[in-house]
Amino acid sequence: MNMNPLHQLMNPRSIATVGAGNNPMKMGTLQALSIIKDGYNGKFYPIHPREETVIGHKAYHSVFDLPEVPDLAILIVPTDQVVPLLDDFGKLGTKYAVIITGGFKERGHQGKKLEDELLKIADTYGIRFLGPNCIGIINSQISLNMTVFPHPAKPGSLGLASQSGTYVTQTLSYLRRKGIRFSKAISVGNEANIDIIDALEYLGEDPDTKAIGLYIEGISDGRRFIDVAQKITPHKPVLAQYVGGSTAGARAGMSHTGSMAGPDILYEGIFRQAGIIRVDSIEDLYDHGWALATQPGLRGKRIGVVTNSGGPGSAIANSCDAGGLDVPLFSEKLQAELKKHIPSHAASINPVDMTFDLDAQVLSVVVPETVMKSGEVDGVILHGIMSTGYLRDKYPHIRELLGGVSLEMVLNRFPPDFTRAVSLPEKYKMPLIVSSFLDREDNYTSAYQDNDIPVFDGPEKAARAMLAMLQYKNIKERPAIGQPVLPEKSPVAAAILNQAMEKGQKSLDEYTAKKFLAAYDIPITGEKLAYAVDEAVQYAVSLGFPVAVKACSAEILHKTEKGLVFLNQKNEEDVRCSFTSIQAATAEETPVLISRMVSGVREFIAGTAEYPGFGPCVLFGLGGIFAEAMQDVTFRAAPLSIAESKEMLTDLKSQALLQSFRGMPEPDHMAIAGILQKLSFIVCLHPEISEIDVNPIIISDSAPIVADALIVLTNQQ
């Protein structure tokens, strides 16, 4: 039996609504009208304390007057009425609710107390509910729309879960003009009971949903979010827009739905870990989601571009190439075949530029089909197909030349047959994406949209949609993630932490931190701890010059900035001078770490940190003294499989340094990934650790070696 509550909530046989009346200016009435007018065939029971009928339906004065226990209750009432009403429905036996009313945790402490009361009632009666502070749901398969805007009757294939109600309802007319239709849409509001992860899981299981869009202001259970998404994304594309990564975005999210946001760069890594395609705008969420929901998947990277104008063709080709798609030069055989159908001056190389040829059949069918069946492309982007839209605009200029024939006669004289044009994606199992500057007033635009072929109002937008399809192809083909299995806790490491905690330390010094890491087989530099200058010299000689000389104290966290690190000390005198300088600078007898210098110019950083909603996360990036300035890092939530660890290496802008570079050998990727995985295990095994900073990891020949480390302990108070 499926336990996700949305399977039942989204498919009610009967609905009771509290807050609907006969005043069309009231939100509750508008939502009731959407339920009734958009074709819902279940039973509808309005509850109103005074009216006898509501929108032509018999009204009931209280919950207990209803003729049966409704499957779903909708509450659109003043905030102070929500708690007692939910209690009444619970006593009656209703198990599902949508609470539209706001004024709960998004309003602060008092609102949070009210929301807690809702949860107690829900627990008492076994109620699952959406909201509060949401806009409702859409299930196009049963014509159920409980939002304030009308929804078209024809079912769609794009699912949406949103932490903003606007994107479930106010955009419906906008989407209708673009030919985009929801399968299901879910406004989660404050997520007090059912959250966006439940919605993601449900949409992943829904057979009518072919792609999923998420609008996110913050995630409260990051590990579950990743686990659910990783089960879905190998089989169904998921896209997300995240808006909580900036200070202003996080502030707005907190006041909007009470969402807890996190740094943008963290969510970037989490989406990659989950296999989710990130988009930058709500427009791309809808548009790219619709392309992925309706078009056959890309089997390769080769794109054919067909256009009636050079500029848009060049723009498409440029955007494709910049994003990782190929726009290959067509073979002589294919070019010869194309030249049979296009003007002599037209280009056939790819892009195929017909240069303002108005033969719509050639542009929409003959050329694209010739390209598709050639075997030389994996997808086609078509720009500039037009008919009635252009004729409408041009008619005032040509009316006299046509002898005054009416516009209607001109438009109806040669009615096109769109059957072949719109059947190409299914026939060749290949995505077709269209770009046109004409909207649904043009019959080609409307025909494509009505047959679930995406039409974009700009050539670059069409190319970016195809790039989203490439992203999903790569996600589907990435190695299986696998479930990480934590190792046994190291007794040596546990003893080190226990000793530090007993002393009340806030961190481990570098020497002890490295001993801790070595207990988990993380490679560290050879080193010894000296308490006197002669001891330091003796250790340097035994390790072999050159050496590094560093202050080593749990109280000194940033040694380089304080001038307490001396590198490439070449002889005994150098060691004596640096040891003396450290003692003078610290004004106390500070232990000094003598480390063998590691040769290598490529440096990386790794570490862990705690983030609300995600717990311990692992960082990897460009290291050394420029790490903070460059900010070339990526994140994943712990624990990590080895596949997830290896994937982090491909995220960096400076990933060329992780290949053979200027005569240097390719680093050992498995060894680096192993360090990242072990760090992820450490923070799961040892909750006493709040932060690990491993910087730098030096690539010596091809081996990664930890040259410095900092471990910060949790607050013990």
pLDDT in tens, 7-29: 999 999 999 999 999 999 999 99
Q: Are 588 and 556 in contact (CB under 8 A)?
A: no
> Domain check: are 556 and 631 in the same one?
no
Average confidence (pLDDT) over 523-549: 95
Range scoring the smallest mean pLDDT among 18-27, 242-251, 518-527, 618-627: 242-251
Q: What is the 3-state secondary structure (H, E, C) of 145-212?
A: ECCCCCCCCCCCCEEEEECCCHHHHCCHHHHHHHCCCEEEEEECCCCCCCCHHHHHHHHHHCCCCCEE
Q: How confident is the model at residue 253 (pLDDT cuts 50, 70, 90)?
A: very low
| Distance between CA atoms of residues 454 and 180, nearest Å | 8
Average confidence (pLDDT) over 325-347: 95
Amino acid at the residue 76: I
pLDDT of residue 257 exceeding 60? no
Domain-terminating residue out of 270, 292, 314: 292
> What confidence score (pLDDT) does residue 245 get?
65
Domain-terminating residue out of 273, 292, 311: 292
> What confidence score (pLDDT) does residue 9 get?
98
> Domain check: are 273 and 391 in the same one?
no
Does any domain span residue 227? yes
H or E element at residue 59: none
Does any domain span residue 492? yes
Token pair 């252009």: residue: 390
Q: pLDDT tens across 283-300, in order?
A: 999 999 999 999 999 999
> Domain check: are 309 and 236 in the same one?
no
Strand 602-611 versus strand 615-622 pairing type: antiparallel
Residue 510: partners with Cβ closer than 8 Å, 6 or more residues away = 550, 552, 559, 593, 708, 709, 710
Query: Residue 680 sits in which domain range?
Result: 480-523+599-717
Domain count, the chain: 4
Does any domain span residue 547? yes
User: Cα separations (Å) of 418 from 189, 426, 455, 617?
Assistant: 42, 14, 15, 52
Terminal-residue alpha carbon distance, the chain: 45
| Distance between CA atoms of residues 316 and 334, nearest Å | 20
> Domain check: are 67 and 128 in the same one?
yes
Give the closest residue to 693 by CA, choosing from 714, 678, 672, 712.
Answer: 712
> Domain check: are 192 and 299 in the same one?
no
User: Cα separations (Å) of 713 from 192, 501, 502, 552, 693?
Assistant: 33, 8, 12, 17, 12
Q: Are 351 and 314 in contact (CB under 8 A)?
A: yes
Q: pLDDT tens across 77-121, in order?
A: 999 999 999 999 999 999 999 999 999 988 888 889 999 999 999
Residue 525: CA count within 13 A, CB half-sphere = 32
> Domain check: are 389 and 537 in the same one?
no
Query: What sign does the dihedral 677-680-685-691 (CA atoms) show?
Result: positive
Average confidence (pLDDT) over 459-477: 98
Does any domain span residue 653? yes
Q: pLDDT tens across 661-703, in order?
A: 888 999 999 999 999 999 999 999 999 999 999 999 999 999 9
Token pair 């054919």: residue: 304
Average confidence (pLDDT) over 414-422: 87
- pTM reported for the whole predicted model: 0.92
- CA–centroid distance for 488 within its chain: 33
| Distance between CA atoms of residues 678 and 695, nearest Å | 16
For position 335, which CATH number holds? Answer: 3.40.50.261
pLDDT of residue 46 exceeding 60? yes
pLDDT of residue 407 exceeding 60? yes
> Domain check: are 547 and 666 in the same one?
no
Residue 353: CA count within 13 A, CB half-sphere = 15
Q: How confident is the model at residue 630 (pLDDT cuts 50, 70, 90)?
A: confident
Domain-terminating residue out of 576, 597, 618: 597
Does any domain span residue 400? yes
Give the closest residue to 492 by CA, choosing from 686, 716, 280, 266.
Answer: 686
Range scoring the smallest mean pLDDT among 65-74, 125-134, 216-225, 394-403: 394-403
pLDDT of residue 717 exceeding 60? no
Q: Are 215 and 239 in contact (CB under 8 A)?
A: no
Q: pLDDT tens across 431-454, in order?
A: 999 999 999 999 999 999 999 999
| Distance between CA atoms of residues 216 and 199, nearest Å | 12
Q: How confident is the model at residue 606 (pLDDT cuts 50, 70, 90)?
A: very high
How is 209-231 classified by DSSP, letter by letter? -SEEEEEES--S-HHHHHHHHHH
Give the closest residue to 465 by CA, choosing from 248, 612, 287.
Answer: 287
> What confidence score (pLDDT) does residue 442 get?
93
- Residue 137 has which token pair? 């749901």
> Domain check: are 206 and 288 in the same one?
yes
For position 698, which CATH number holds? Answer: 3.30.470.20
> Domain check: are 49 and 165 in the same one?
yes
- Residue 26 has which token pair? 């009231």
CA dihedral defined by 84, 89, 90, 92, rounded to 10 degrees? 130
Give the closest residue to 430 by CA, choosing from 515, 368, 358.
Answer: 368
Q: pLDDT tens across 156-203, in order?
A: 999 999 999 999 999 999 999 999 999 999 999 999 999 999 999 999
Does any domain span residue 1? no
Average confidence (pLDDT) over 69-83: 97
Token pair 């570079």: residue: 661
| Distance between CA atoms of residues 40 and 151, nearest Å | 11
> Domain check: are 193 and 331 in the same one?
no
Average confidence (pLDDT) over 50-62: 96
> What confidence score (pLDDT) does residue 715 get?
74
> Domain check: are 252 and 327 in the same one?
no
Does any domain span residue 357? yes
> What confidence score (pLDDT) does residue 262 get?
67
> Domain check: are 432 and 326 in the same one?
yes
Does any domain span residue 375? yes
Range scoring the smallest mean pLDDT among 48-52, 237-241, 598-602: 598-602
